[in-house]
Structure 1
Amino acid sequence: MTSQNSRQTLIIPALGGLYARLNDGVETLLRVIAGGFLAVHGSGKIVDPFGASEMVEGLGFYPGAFWSPLLAATEFFGGILIALGLLTRPAAFAGMIVLLVTVWFHWVTMGQGFSGAEKSLLWAAALAFFVVRGGNRHSIDARLGKAF
């Protein structure tokens, strides 16, 4: 258990062991799901890497022929790296930046406010967790004994 959890007194102390046993597994599950979903989301873009050129230029990212393939690679390959736990922190950081841009797009540019941006906010928060935390012991980073 982390030092924060050891300072807390559980209302049902018997659950402490369960929480400790599930901690790494649940964290790994979250990483695999977040990375996998990001890769699936980017799969359409990787098939047509220049397909989002107009959209990214509409957001002010010029030239679209540069930013569109970068967006596709960040989502697709970055998602795969996050799911595998390989170069977890830089892949999660890149994905988080993309998602924060989508927050701006939905909230400000499209004027949708929180309701339009909430999914991107949630994804960005999940990736921020892995930027700070890394891939955990069930990752390729851990198997290699190296982390960014």
Structure 2
Amino acid sequence: MTDVSPARPRLIIPKLGGLYAALHESAETILRVAAGLLLVTHGYGKIMNPFGAVGMVESLGFYPGVFWSPLLAATEFFGGILVAIGLFTRPAAFASMIVLAVTVYFHGVVKAEGLMGAEKSILWTLIFLFFAVRGANSHSVDAKLGRQF
């Protein structure tokens, strides 16, 4: 049987291979934890006033705002915690990705800031897309439980 997996490119500096291999999962874990905790800090103000974004979400067409505003707050705050610890990583990252995709629309279209206004939201959306597809690695609660979505 032949191996059909793509060959890894050879390293220009082969001695760095061990370092890259050793840090592979750690770097991914750092990105996941940082993204989750930064989302928590972004959602903290919203969770303290869950109805504070009613007008904003309704201006984007999400009615009734009294439903969507607390959902936004919970997704950012609790979703960020779940992503950071790696529990229910895929659904939490997916929900966060949807919220962040709406911010791409908000900054890029509603506020007419174009790419320059939406670039951070695009980056954050793609980070959470990565974890929605990939899930958490061995440094997560999902891994400790032995279950993932």
TM-score > 0.5, shorter chain as reference: yes
Amino acid at match of 1:115: M
- Mapped to 2, the partners of 1:58 and 1:134 lie a distance apart of 33
Give matches, 1:1-148, under 5 Å.
Answer: 7-148=8-149
State the one-letter code of the partner of 2:126.
Answer: A
Deviation at 1:132, TM superposition (A): 1.0
Report the alpha carbon displacement of residue 34 of structure 1 after superposing the two structures with TM: 0.1
SS at match of 2:139: coil
Quote the Cα distance in structure 2 between the aligned partners of 1:62 and 1:29: 36
- Structure 1 unaligned spans of 5+: none
Which amino acid is 1:53 matched to? V
Deviations 1:49-108 (A, max 9, x none): 000000000000000000000000000000000000000000000000000000001101
Letter paired with 1:111: A
Specify the code of the residue in structure 2 equivalent to 1:79: G
Report the Cα offset of residue 38 of structure 1: 0.2
Percent identical across equivalent pairs?
Answer: 66
Count of aligned pairs:
145
Name the Cα RMSD after superposition: 0.9
Deviations 1:102-140 (A, max 9, x none): 000110111100110011111111111101111100000
Unpaired runs of 5+ residues, structure 2, are: none
Give the alignment's TM-score, normalised by structure 1: 0.96
Aligned equivalents of 1:41, 1:65: Cα separation in 2: 19
